[in-house]
Amino acid sequence: MKIPYDIGRANQTNQAAHASQVNQAGMVNRINSKLEKEGGSAFPLLLASTSPRRKELLHRLGLKFTVIPSLVEENDVPGLPEEKARTWALLKAEAVARRFNGDGIVIGADTIVVLDGRVLGKPRDEEDARKMLGQLSGNTHTVITGLALINTRSGLRIGEAVESKVSFRTLSDEEIDSYIATGEPMDKAGAYGIQERGAGFVTHVQGCYTNVVGLPVSCLLTSLEKILT
């Protein structure tokens, strides 16, 4: 019997997703093994962020890590949006590397939302969140996560910036007000969380989904393998 095209394509997609998961699991196992060979618990993976989204992504990957807040204030820095994201990520990683007394791998990350060349950070207050969501409504914006890794033993550093495109449907004023009332937008760049209620605003994502959440998993794993080589 001839298999309909759409079913065959669905099977191919499922097979590709399974292969990706197997490859990812292999990378995680190699990274954890390298960390143990470097000195076990004395050579930890350090996350310079208290973001619950980033912590959850690392937990899901199966990576062993310790959280050390960077305590860095996100003041404006010069450069293009991707340069700003990389710089903020590096500043966070450097702050933890300086305070940490020992050998380890520090991960710094910073996520920004860019619309028409303008950077939208975390909203200052509810009115600012309302303004941001109104601007994103019915438009496509870019989410950039800067990623910085520092090997405190060798001094090796890796910096990356990953971009994804996110499209919003048109939002009503009532929807925006109801969303703000949940408090969810207040600690997130662009005033929304794609992994939470904000997912209902999104019509399309082009690129890495976890990058929009706050940590580009594929880029992180590749960078970890490089810095541990």
| 3-class DSSP assignment, residue 164 | strand
In the numeric block, the tokens 């500043």 are attached to 91
Task: Name the catalytic one among 6, 76, 110, 177.
Answer: 110
Q: In the annotation, is 173 catalytic?
A: no
User: What are the structure tokens assigned to 161, written together?
Assistant: 């910036």
* Token pair in block for residue 115: 């619309």
- Beta-bridge partners for 110: 146
How far from the centroid of its chain's Cα atoms is residue 170's Cα? 25
* CA 208 – CA 162 distance, rounded (Å): 8
Grouping H, G, I as helix, E, B as strand and the rest as coil, residue 28 is: helix
Q: Are 187 and 223 in contact (CB under 8 A)?
A: no
* Burial readout 63-89 (b: 16 or more C-beta within 10 A, e: otherwise): bebeebebebeeeeeeeebbebbbbbb
Q: Which residues are catalytic?
A: 110
